[in-house]
Chain A
């Protein structure tokens, strides 16, 4: 017997039960595992589309609620009245305190926001820390003159019809990058019409350039 066994070691028969049992177990827990997979999958997809965009941004109010429409009514040259080109061609951007206090040296109206502006910024001579919706990283060179003067574009093409807004909308700040949600676009999938003017990622510049000029432009034109 012993010798026989030793002669046929491979022919030792396996019991039928011991072969079936693991197969059955794996069928049952296979469904279960799939279920977990589906829960994870669906949970992830849902939270990725619904929760994530809201979690990514924090919301901040502008230091002063600014009424563009009101100001548009009292200036003569539209946007250019405050956002003008300097004599050297550079763009002045957001007016500094000095420009604003030309008119707002003292409180003129009854708007509590104006009062706040005069008391908290003009009188102590402190610049307003405006949150800039279109702020770009330092590595981006952008010339307003080339676009507005050169290509004759309107401010609102990129910045939306901000000139007729009556309130400053909240600034949604990307918690990681610090830039405004406007840059990527409110729609996380970057589909459809952008809200509040153009989206301002590099590809958005390139797309527009390709459409308007037939060429996306060269690296060094913006990354000088």
Chain B
């Protein structure tokens, strides 16, 4: 007998078999699985006592109330604030992802100076003193050369105290060029101003309406205050009917009670067709129209000249059979839409495509707004009102010196307010064209950009880049390494919203005016400074009259000064109500020359003075490209799961995107199966999509929900900056489209562009 290999094997087998009768394998399996959850190298934030801070989300104009949970000094979760009057405790996915902006890798951590070529990504960290004196040095130099009007500032918004502060700075400095990026709000504000004589945003009391006729508005895709709309959606089946008119079966169309497909770009004609039926069948609110409206019937002016009224224009030119021809909405459907709308108690018509960040035509806005007037549902509960600009920001007049006054007499670089575009306030989309077509020195010698990312959001990225190349001095105040920041000469990084104070004016689209106060929830994570403070610091460094216009220590002091009546409540609750349309007597609500709602807007300046050009009319907005070589039409679409504007999509949201929208870095465009079949393409085919402005490689998703001949592409992809979590995913829609000027207003009214697809 000998102990050999087999004995040991046998011993081993004995141990193994024996161990199955002990707790060892079972307990170890359990423990090991727990051990893997607690690997010391898995990053786990430090534990500690928790606390909550309330604030307001500023990631979009929605201004939702938020409640941030903190563990010690780290924010760990953003939730909705139930007592907030607009958002009522709801948040959109972007708001829920807010912490990824605070702690994400694309933050600019300190002031930087470009050392390589523009856009090369070579930066040098500098001190704040160096950064501020670099900017003020350049600004002083331009002022000394008597060229203050060559400075332009692109700011994300024109409402609220920060834009006011920037505006004040530019005024004291001598530049008329405060510019805000274009949105459909421009067209809406202008329509409200022309027809009702009120400056402000247009509010829709959808909560109390019973019929909502939407001309392509992405009501449930991130429009207005998206969280508010989600809560309306939750309750909508109780008492409302939603009708969505849109060339694509969008999320909103899918959720609506009825979807009416339409030829893209013809929404305005349909609105006038509906008006025709309402007038022809006497379904409009005669009491309102006869007492409170002007320009409905034909009229004679002081000089005895006859003018055509809205009624006759519509009856003559927009019979359902004609409109059916233009819009491809069948005649009986147009009649049905009109009757449904007119018979509702509280009908609302709303226009503006997608989330409302897309441009829109003035005529279309006016045509749709005219429907609200025909229904007599203006300035009523459950109707449409103009919410005046909040008047809390009032400060002493600015005293300016001679240089500034001369500078301010120059025309704006974007042409807004000029003889050609007298009614427009901002025309940022014109800027690249203006700069690129100027021979010699660029009319903009220094461009400052805050809360905006024009290199991503402006139509025609190539042209925008070329224009930026001609601007010798480019400064970004972005908190993130976005497209514009990474292409600039200096970055003076702002705090993000969870680190700083700011006021949030009433979200466009809502009726009850409310100011929100966004407050610091955590201490600043990096060496950043709020733009408001920088404006004041820059003014101080400029000296003389510019400095004198700024008596405040810092932005917070200025904000407190502006909001003094509301400050305590804002600090405590996070929001405060201010005076709104319901507080103004109905009789005082129309500030037009006639004191009425004007179907014929007498304030609409028009060179040739033709009635048809002044009344809401359908002028087909041209589309770029030849239909011969480019048989398709490319249109953009918005999704609530994609941030399509100046802010980059956070990774949390990217995770929620379907595989038929983005797969392995490639974006899908939707195409009708009939069109695809005709062109010989199949689901998932990789193709080259070309438009007159650019080309891109995309994949095809066959979808019956788009009209034949149309391809639809999501907005929000194709970032070239930010972090690796966003770069090079899909294509930026703006690369493929150019602006189309609305001839009447100068606003960008491009809704699509001709395109073709070929095998890649």
The answer to whether the Cβ of A28 comes within 8 Å of any Cβ in the partner chain is yes
Which of B11, B30, B44 meets A39, CB within 8 Å?
B11
Of A44-52, A69-77, A104-112, the one with at least 4 CB within 8 A of chain B: A44-52
Task: For the complex, count residues of A whose C-beta is within 8 A of B.
Answer: 34
A139 touches which of B2, B7, B12, B37 (Cβ 8 Å): B37
A47 to B27 CA separation, bound complex (whole angstroms)? 14
Determine whether the beta carbon of A49 is less than 8 Å from that of B22. yes
Proximity string of chain A (35-48) to chain B, C-beta cutoff 8 Å, 1 when within and 0 when not: 01111111111011
Judge whether B21 and A45 touch: CB under 8 Å: yes
A176 touches B32 (CB 8 A): yes
Q: Which residues of B contact A44 (CB under 8 A)?
A: 14-19, 22
Report if B31 contacts A (CB, 8 A).
yes
Distance of A24 from chain B, by nearest CB (Å): 12
Interface residues of B in 1-35 (CB under 8 A from A): 1-4, 6-8, 10-19, 21-24, 27-28, 30-32, 34-35
How many residues from B make CB contacts under 8 Å with A?
33
Q: Does A141 contact B (CB under 8 A)?
A: no
| Chain A residues within 8 Å of B234, by CB | none
Provide the bound-state CA to CA distance between A42 and B13, in Å: 11
Q: Roughly how many angstroms separate A193 CA and B24 CA in the complex, as a whole number?
A: 21
Q: Which residues of chain A have C-beta atoms less than 8 A from B7's C-beta?
A: 32-33, 36
The answer to whether residues A52 and B24 also contact, given A33-B6, A177-B31 and a CB cut-off of 8 A, is yes
CA distance A188 to B35 in the complex (A): 18
Report the Cα distance A71→B758, complex, angstroms.
Answer: 82
User: Chain A residues with Cβ under 8 A from B27's Cβ?
Assistant: 52, 56, 184, 188
A171 within 8 A of B: no
Q: Contact at A48–B1, with CB atoms within 8 Å?
A: no
B10 touches A37 (CB 8 A): yes
Q: Which residues in A have their C-beta under 8 angstroms from that of B23?
A: 48-49, 52-53, 188-189
Pair B24/A40 contact, Cβ less than 8 Å: no
The answer to whether A174 and B31 have CB atoms under 8 Å apart is yes
**Is B49 at the interface (CB under 8 A from chain A)?**
yes
**Closest-CB distance, A46 to chain B (whole angstroms):** 8
Q: A177 and B38 in contact (CB under 8 A), knowing A33-B10, A37-B14, A188-B27?
A: yes
Give chain A interface residues in 124-146, CB to chain B under 8 Å: 137-139
Q: Which of A42, A43, A137 contacts B38 (CB 8 A)?
A: A137
The answer to whether A36 and B11 touch across the interface, beta carbons within 8 angstroms, is: yes
Instruction: With both chains docked as a complex, state the minimum distance between the C-beta of A70 and any C-beta of chain B, in angstroms.
Output: 27
* Residue numbers in A under 8 Å from B37 (CB-CB): 137, 139
CA distance in complex: A184, B23 (Å) = 12
> Would you give the shortest CB distance from A79 to chain B, in whole angstroms?
20
- Chain B residues whose C-beta falls within 8 Å of the C-beta of A179 in the assembled complex: 34
Chain B's closest residue to A187 (CB) is B23
Q: How far is the CA of A138 from the CA of B44 in the complex (A)?
A: 10
CB-defined interface of A82-114 with B at 8 Å, one 1/0 digit per residue?
Answer: 000000001000001000000000000000000
Q: What's the nearest-Cβ distance from chain B to residue A120, in Å?
A: 20
Which of these, B1, B4, B13, B34, contacts A177 with CB under 8 Å? B34
User: Which of A29, A52, A177 is within 8 Å of B35, CB to CB?
Assistant: A177
CB contact under 8 A between A52 and B22, given known A176-B34, A177-B34: yes
Query: Given contacts A32-B1, A37-B13, are A42 and B18 in contact (CB under 8 A)?
Result: yes
A34 in the interface, Cβ–Cβ < 8 Å? yes
CA distance A110 to B24 in the complex (A): 46
Kindly supply a per-residue 1/0 record for chain A positions 20-32, scoring 1 wherever the CB is within 8 Å of any chain B CB and 0 otherwise.
0000000011001
CB-based nearest B residue for A52: B24
Which of B18, B28, B34 is packed against the most chain A CB atoms within 10 Å?
B18
B2: A residues at CB distance < 8 A: 29
With contacts A32-B1, A45-B21, A52-B23 taken as known, whether A40 is within 8 angstroms of B38 at the C-beta atoms is no
Q: Are A48 and B35 in contact (CB under 8 A)?
A: no
- Cα distance A177–B13 when bound, in Å? 28
| B22 near A40: Cβ-Cβ < 8 Å | no
Contacts of A217 in B (CB 8 A): none
Shortest beta-carbon distance from B81 to chain A in Å? 15
Please name all residues of chain A whose beta carbon is closer than 8 Å to the beta carbon of B30 when the two chains form the complex. Answer: 184
- Knowing that A90-B50, A189-B23 touch, tell me 7 more A-B residue pairs with CB under 8 angstroms: A29-B6, A34-B10, A36-B14, A41-B15, A44-B14, A48-B22, A48-B23
